[in-house]
Chains A and B, each alone.
Chain A
Amino acid sequence: SAVISQKPSRDICQRGTSLTIQCQVDSQVTMMFWYRQQPGQSLTLIATANQGSEATYESGFVIDKFPISRPNLTFSTLTVSNMSPEDSSIYLCSVVLAGGENIQYFGAGTRLSVL
């Protein structure tokens, strides 16, 4: 496996502001993803972070709201823009390791509360 570091681990934000979440992996990865986990619900894939190009967003998620960067193979950021209370959730970074089995590994998540 690998160490997947997410920062911040939690934050409380005001409505209308933006928060950028960082994900750093200590191993080479092939794929990086961002998920949202709401209480009592399944993990929802937001987007696939593509190195050096625009992320691939799932239905219901758009770049203006959730801009994603992946400047290199092991680092990505997710920004939650113009936040509202409905954005309160846990945001998870996930990776598939290079040279390994096709398994997703997860970071500890960022618990976001929007007031």
Chain B
Amino acid sequence: AQSVSQHNHHVILSEAASLELGCNYSYGGTVNLFWYVQYPGQHLQLLLKYFSGDPLVKGIKGFEAEFIKSKFSFNLRKPSVQWSDTAEYFCAVKSPGGSYIPTFGRGTSLIVHP
């Protein structure tokens, strides 16, 4: 079964610092990859996704993620974080085919100090 690892459970940064959140998965075949964000008190929102094509994916709010197949990774990056990026970030991985159900990582809590 697919498993998803987010190694950074809690990250604390100052504004303008660069961000990289790790995401690794176990299944070696074709995958669909997602990053979701949950701002305090709000619902889970899709930040970005990768289905195929350019492995460098750009999402909303200046976030991007790079799919490295050889490393089974889909790390999330942002060159300069803002206080408003304080949120919980979830990586999710789905194997294409009949199932609509992705496997989620346990999430990374990001706190950005102004």
Contacts and interface: CB of A to CB of B under 8 A. Distances in A.
Interface of A: 4, 30-31, 33, 40-43, 45, 48, 92, 96, 101-109
A33 B105 contact: no
Interface of B: 4, 9, 32, 34, 36, 42-46, 49, 51, 90, 92, 94, 96, 100-102, 104-107
B100 A102 contact: yes
Contacts of A4: 43
Q: Is the interface of A mostly helix, strand, loop or mixed?
A: strand
Q: Nearest 3 A-B pairs (CB), nearest first? A: A106-B44, A108-B43, A42-B106
B53 to A, nearest CB: 13
Of A96, A103, A106, which is in contact with the most chain B CB atoms at under 10 Å from its CB? A103
Given A30-B100, A48-B101, A103 B90 contact: no
A108 B42 contact: yes
Given A40-B9, A42-B106, A43-B90, A103 B46 contact: yes
Which of B34, B45, B101, B105 has the most chain A CB atoms closer than 10 A to its own CB?
B101
Contact of B105 (A42, A96, A103, A105): A42
Given A42-B105, A45-B101, A104-B100, 17 more contacts: A4-B43, A33-B100, A40-B9, A40-B106, A42-B104, A42-B106, A42-B107, A43-B90, A92-B44, A96-B100, A101-B51, A102-B94, A102-B100, A103-B49, A105-B46, A106-B36, A108-B43
A108 B43 CA distance: 4
A102 B49 CA distance: 11
A45 B42 CA distance: 19
A92 B43 CA distance: 9
